[in-house]
Structure 1
């Protein structure tokens, strides 16, 4: 298993986020909203948006680490990759399995609407 979260697996530019927001599908459960759009690559990429009102710095960083780890542990599929933008509001942190299920559900929904 690969333990690094490489730059190639991250969304880094604002235009990448904006494209997912404007053209992608949206799935939301409680405090988490996921925008997903096909990226034409062979792998998924993740972008996180965790505003200050989602908690103090320690809580926000813990939340981002959990989301990145859930994304990293997702099994690789033989399919077109997706860009996932996760926006979070303040909440009690979910278990890792719940975050993985949300990410999987967003990809599944995006692949159906394609």
Structure 2
């Protein structure tokens, strides 16, 4: 993902956690923060060591990033998203991760599939 589409700094993560709204399912928790003056969305990822070793954690992050790239045209702009992976995400393949993210994003009303 391009640099402007990522959340990297701790204070940006904390801003989303403290002022945003959370939505979740068994695999992911998504925090959403409205940013009306921003004409694109940004994502931050949090995958704990509880999920698995570095290989598994990086794989989960790649799956999430790829899902957002494929859903880019349908994700609402002007928002920051922080995605926290839960343990069941470690055993999922790409298509299951994408389906689960679609489910959570629909719950947060951040996704408009055509």
Q: Unpaired runs of 5+ in structure 2?
A: none
2:67 alignment partner, one of 70, 84, 95: 70
Aligned CA distance change for structure 1 residues 95 and 84 (closer, same or farther; 3 Å): same
Number of paired residues?
Answer: 106
- Name the SS for the 2:58 alignment partner: helix
Q: Unpaired runs of 5+ in structure 1?
A: 110-114
Shift of 1:102: 3.6
Taking structure 1 as the reference length, what is the TM-score of the superposition? Answer: 0.80
Contact 1:26/1:106, CA 8 A, preserved across alignment: no
Task: Give the Cα separation in 1 of the matches to 2:75 and 2:84.
Answer: 26
User: Which stretch shows the higher mean deviation, 31-40 or 21-30?
Assistant: 31-40
Contact 2:41/2:76, CA 8 A, preserved across alignment: no
1:10 alignment partner, one of 6, 13, 18: 6
Taking structure 2 as the reference length, what is the TM-score of the superposition? Answer: 0.80
| Structure 2 match to 1:48 | 45
> Runs (4+) of structure 1 moved beyond 3 Å?
77-80, 94-97
Task: Give the Cα separation in 1 of the matches to 2:67 and 2:76.
Answer: 19
Shift of 1:107: 4.7
| Structure 1 match to 2:102 | 101
